[in-house]
Amino acid sequence: MTGYFITLEGIDGSGKTTHLGFLKEMLSSIGFRVVLTREPGGTALGEKIREILLDPSTRGMDPMTEVLLYNAARSQLVKEVIQPALQRGLVVLSERFADSTIAYQGYGLGLPVDIVRSVNGVACNGVYPDLTLLFDLDVEIARARILKKVPDRVECRDVDYYRRVREGYLTIAGEETHRVKIIDASQAIEEVRRRATQAVLDFVRVHSPSRSKERDDSPSS
């Protein structure tokens, strides 16, 4: 039995984190065992790499060094957490995964996307999300949210950078419509939550029909 791998993606300030815990509870309520994780991080080693990557005092990091560090953390996470959980039939719910590297380092920093994809491929070790929720939000609105706290090294980048990252995400979503579901994160929080829940339930309905009957928020059913 293999589980499902669900990722939450979006630019900083798009509100992903707010919905992670709720989605976990919803999936647990219909009988799934769920593991929550995040990138970069999710393992002791990965959290140390995260500190280096997000520390505003880390200066002059080469874009390819970034790709390799995100993927070093990813490789550890895949082997230590994601693959074992999927093999045990659990649902892994991750805040960010390989799409972040394509959007932030590929589209955002301008590295060739095919090279970023191939480095990602080494770290992913055959693991690929079954479903991705892309929380899409206007860059200016997201930025206003970020600037309410002290920005980390990535968040210090300018609006144009975040525009490229957002466009990158939307390009990925356009290329992989079967996997990536766009959630309009400009809506009220309850509505964003409802849409995110619905997208997950639609996925579950197709892949685990018996479980989805236990809780069904679909207006069409």
Of residues 117 and 215, the one with the C-beta less far from ligand TMP: 117
Of residues 5 and 70, the one with the C-beta less far from ligand TMP: 70
Q: Which of 100, 132, 197, 212 binds ligand TMP (CB under 6 A)?
A: 100
Binding range to ligand TMP, per CB under 6 A, among 22-30, 97-105, 203-211, 213-221 = 97-105
38 lines the binding site for ligand TMP (CB under 6 A): yes
Report d(CA 215, CA 199) in Å as an integer.
13
Q: Which of 5, 104, 107, 161 binds ligand TMP (CB under 6 A)?
A: 104
Of residues 123 and 182, the one with the C-beta less far from ligand TMP: 123
List binders of ligand TMP among 129-188 (CB under 6 A).
Answer: 154-155
What amino acid is encoded at 40 in this protein?
Answer: P
Q: Which of 27, 49, 96, 195 binds ligand TMP (CB under 6 A)?
A: 96
Q: Which of 39, 86, 123, 201 binds ligand TMP (CB under 6 A)?
A: 39
Q: What proportions of the chain, in percent to the nearest 5, are helix, strand and coil?
A: 55, 15, 35
Of residues 3 and 106, the one with the C-beta less far from ligand TMP: 106
Report d(CA 98, CA 116) in Å as an integer.
9
Q: Tokens in use for 10?
A: 């979006």
Q: Tokens in use for 72?
A: 């070093």
Q: Can you point out the beta strands (E) in 116-185?
A: 131-136, 180-184
Give, in order, the Cα–Cα distances in Å from 56 to each of 101, 142, 145. 19, 19, 18
Q: Which of 12, 76, 111, 133 binds ligand TMP (CB under 6 A)?
A: 12
- Give the residue among 109, 12, 112, 123 at the shortest CA–CA distance from 63: 109
How far does CA 153 lie from the centroid of its chain?
19
19 lines the binding site for ligand TMP (CB under 6 A): no
For residue 214, give the H/E element and its range: none
101 lines the binding site for ligand TMP (CB under 6 A): yes
By CB under 6 A, name the binding residues for ligand TMP.
12, 38-40, 70, 96, 100-101, 104-105, 154-155
